[in-house]
Amino acid sequence: MPQKAQLRARAMLQEWQSALGSGSVEVVEKVAIVSAVGIGMKSHSGVAATMFQALAECGANIEMISTSEIKLSVVLHPDQGRKALEALHKAFNLGEASE
């Protein structure tokens, strides 16, 4: 997000937080986002389970989850992005030759 937009968003959220009298505002500037995407997610059960299991096994700490009908994304600390990507690559057998 461009710096100006980030500053405006932070100020707006702090106003709302103050008006509501609760909560807090935290801005994290760098994150890693890893996604599983595909139309087959609608008809193939277990994609989320496989993804979360692989991330747990590699020690990735999920900060946030976003889903849609064809996409499952997780936000991670930037230092965990590479190992999470490699774990998912292995879990879903990506890059292997099909028979």
Residues 6+ apart with CB under 8 A from 23: 17
The answer to whether residues 35 and 16 belong to one domain is no
The answer to whether residues 73 and 55 belong to one domain is yes
For the chain, the domain total comes to: 2
Alpha-carbon span 56 to 46, nearest angstrom? 15
The answer to whether residues 49 and 87 belong to one domain is yes
Sign of the torsion angle spanned by Cα atoms 67, 73, 77, 78: negative
The answer to whether residues 50 and 98 belong to one domain is yes
The structure's pTM equals: 0.75
The answer to whether residues 24 and 36 belong to one domain is no
The answer to whether residues 12 and 37 belong to one domain is no
Instruction: Convert the pLDDT of each residue in 8-59 to its tens digit.
Output: 998 998 899 889 887 788 888 899 999 999 988 878 889 999 999 999 999 9
Q: Which amino acid is at 2?
A: P
The answer to whether residues 58 and 38 belong to one domain is yes
Range of the domain at 93: 31-99
